[in-house]
């Protein structure tokens, strides 16, 4: 076949070859496994997961200088039990940065790729992984999309941070072409470029969209203002990278006329949980072992989520602090999957409490943002400025002259337990270098 009629066939063949290179042979194991294991009984899944934890700990203790010392509590135990495992010290991002060479196993840099966290907590870290581990990362996301009748190889739009330059930028463009994805930058200029972004989405007609919630919510508001409607049916919009608030779900679903799903994941850990059509956020037990530990006052909702990545032998992550707060729950979803579930309650705040009171919670911020008049939803940030003191930052021009008064009134209801509130006008809301727009800021970030 020659000429123009042969070009689509050639492009499709090249894309298939590119995807094969990206997925690696590990995908032939990971994807079928995840399709099957999601229907296993919960007890069997938990047993299989714990065996993977035991194998990982034994490997790390034997192979990593860092873990030979870190796993001291395990060394004297005749068997690794869950109780013994809880005595292993947590792994922090500071540990990952300062002990990088001691943690890493082997020196085969040529076979490794880098995965970077988003830096929501103020510190971004880079984790080396091999292609086999990356296959499991992708398989978790692939299975999640299959819940909604979509697939990683469908036409997809991705709005997950700023554009990358240099060699990494070229590599990203090659990956996006192979996957048939349209990648749209989310950075400090996103709001200004939003009309063009919406137009490019309409022209591309993706089957699925992967995006930061704040970015899609802004596009949803713009679509409503312009009377915009999607040209083709989007099967699902997957929100990831930021806490998902109720007002965002509603507006995005209405504007794009499609379901909205949440994925819980990170660059360094891969897909940790994916929402099914029945509304449960199912843990990817084949990828990660999750725990929660006390993160604040005894009555604080949820606990700090610790994750153990089960496949990364190049750079083991054991009891790694994700920086998120959540509640782990068992199976029992109407969908019939044996996978346990998690409710993610946002980022763990390290704001200035110094004994004078707790940090604000995701639940309180969700209540605040949901109670605001619709023109103000998505245009107010909560800054934990001092102990028991909050500054509500209202974006200029987001509503009428009563914006500050309306925000102050709603804030008094959402934070009615002794918080001191100040409401101020801000030129614009603070979007982080990663492209994320947090609605709860603490002492790590200054507006």
Residue span(s) of the chain under CATH 3.40.50.12780 come to: 12-347
Look at residue 58 in the predicted model and tell me its pLDDT: 92
Residue 382's nearest CA partner among 444, 432, 429, 325 is: 429
Q: What does the pLDDT read at residue 293?
A: 92
Q: What is the pLDDT of residue 357?
A: 53
pLDDT at 279: 95
Ordered alpha helix ranges (H), 76-189: 82-85, 93-98, 100-103, 131-146, 166-179
Residue reference for tokens 């907590």: 121
Burial class (CB in 10 A: 0-12, 13-18, 19+), 402: exposed
pLDDT of residue 8: 66
Which residues sit opposite 153 in a β-bridge? none
Instruction: Assign 134 to helix, strand or coil.
Output: helix
Q: What is the pLDDT of residue 117?
A: 63
73 in Cβ contact with 84 (< 8 Å): yes
**Contacts of residue 335, Cβ cutoff 8 Å, sequence gap at least 6:** 276, 277, 278, 280
CA pair distance 306, 317, nearest whole angstrom: 10
> Beta-carbon neighbour count of residue 420 at 10 Å?
13
Cα–Cα dist 31/380, whole Å: 41
Residues of the chain with confidence (pLDDT) below 70:
1-24, 75-78, 107-123, 295-300, 349-358, 443-447
Residue 69 is encoded by which pair of tokens?
């010392």
Q: What is the mean pLDDT of the chain?
A: 86
Give the pLDDT of residue 291.
96
Distances 202 to 36, 185, 208, 233 between C-alpha atoms, Å: 35, 16, 12, 11
DSSP three-state, residue 96? helix
Beta bridge partners of 376: none
Residue 11's pLDDT is what?
A: 64
Q: What is the pLDDT of residue 28?
A: 80
> In terms of CATH, what superfamily is 362-441?
ANL, C-terminal domain (3.30.300.30)
Task: Look at residues 305, 279, 308, 277 and name the one whose alpha carbon lies nearest to residue 292.
Answer: 305
Predicted confidence at residue 179, as pLDDT, reads 85
Q: What is the DSSP letter of 295?
A: -
Q: What is the pLDDT of residue 351?
A: 54
DSSP reduced 3-state for 434: coil
Segments of the chain assigned to CATH 3.30.300.30: 362-441
Which tens digits make up the pLDDT trace of 129-147? 888 888 898 899 999 999 9
**CA 206/CA 233 separation, integer angstroms:** 8
Q: Are 135 and 27 in contact (CB under 8 A)?
A: yes
Task: Say how many C-beta atoms besides its own lie within 10 A of residue 128's C-beta.
Answer: 21
30: which 2 tokens?
């990971």
User: What CATH number should be reported for the domain whose range is 12-347?
Assistant: 3.40.50.12780
Q: Which residue has the tokens 């796993």?
A: 71
DSSP state of 429: -
Measured from the Cβ of residue 316, the count of other Cβ atoms closer than 10 Å reads 25
For 294, 302, 346, 360, 383, the CA distances from 326, given in Å and listed in that order, are 10, 5, 7, 15, 21
């Amino acid at each position: 076949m020659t000429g123009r009629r042969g070009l689509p066939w050639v492009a499709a063949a090249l894309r298939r070859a590119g995807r094969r290179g990206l997925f690696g042979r590990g995908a032939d194991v990971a994807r079928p496994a995840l399709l099957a294991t999601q229907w296993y009984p919960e007890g069997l899944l938990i047993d299989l997961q714990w065996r993977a934890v035991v194998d990982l700990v034994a490997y790390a203790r034997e192979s990593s200088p860092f873990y030979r010392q870190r796993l001291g509590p395990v060394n004297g135990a005749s068997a690794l039990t869950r109780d013994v495992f809880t005595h292993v010290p947590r792994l922090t991002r500071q540990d990952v940065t300062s002990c990088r060479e001691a943690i890493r196993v082997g020196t085969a840099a040529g076979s490794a790729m880098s995965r970077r966290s988003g830096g929501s907590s103020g510190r971004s870290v880079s984790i080396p992984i091999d292609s086999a581990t990356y296959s499991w990362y992708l398989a978790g996301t692939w299975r999640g999309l299959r819940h909604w009748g979509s697939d990683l190889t469908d036409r997809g739009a991705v709005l997950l941070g700023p554009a990358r330059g240099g060699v990494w930028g070229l590599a990203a463009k090659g990956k996006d072409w192979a996957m048939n994805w349209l990648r749209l930058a989310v950075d400090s200029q996103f709001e200004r470029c939003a009309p063009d972004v919406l137009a490019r989405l309409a022209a591309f007609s993706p089957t699925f969209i992967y995006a930061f919630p704040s970015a899609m919510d802004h596009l949803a508001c713009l679509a409503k203002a312009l009377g915009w409607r999607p040209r083709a049916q989007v099967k699902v919009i997957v929100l990831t990278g930021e806490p998902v608030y109720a007002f965002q779900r509603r507006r995005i679903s209405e504007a794009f006329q499609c379901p909205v799903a949440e994925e819980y994941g990170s660059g360094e850990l891969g897909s940790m949980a994916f929402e099914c059509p029945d509304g449960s956020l199912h843990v990817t037990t084949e990828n990660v072992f999750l725990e929660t530990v006390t993160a604040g006052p005894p009555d604080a909702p949820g606990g700090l989520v610790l994750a153990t990545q089960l496949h990364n032998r190049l750079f083991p992550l054991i009891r790694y602090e994700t920086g998120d707060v959540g509640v782990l729950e068992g199976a029992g979803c109407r969908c019939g999957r044996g996978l346990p579930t998690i409710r993610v309650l946002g980022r763990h705040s390290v704001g200035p409490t110094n004994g004078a009171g707790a940090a604000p919670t995701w639940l309180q911020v969700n209540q605040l943002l949901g109670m605001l008049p619709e023109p103000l939803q998505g245009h107010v940030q909560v800054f934990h400025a001092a102990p028991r003191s909050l500054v509500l930052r209202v974006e200029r021009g987001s509503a009428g002259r009563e914006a500050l008064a309306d925000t102050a009134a709603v804030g008094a209801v959402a934070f009615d337990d002794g918080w001191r509130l100040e409401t101020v006008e801000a030129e614009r809301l603070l979007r982080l270098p990663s492209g994320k727009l947090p609605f709860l800021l603490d002492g790590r970030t200054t507006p």
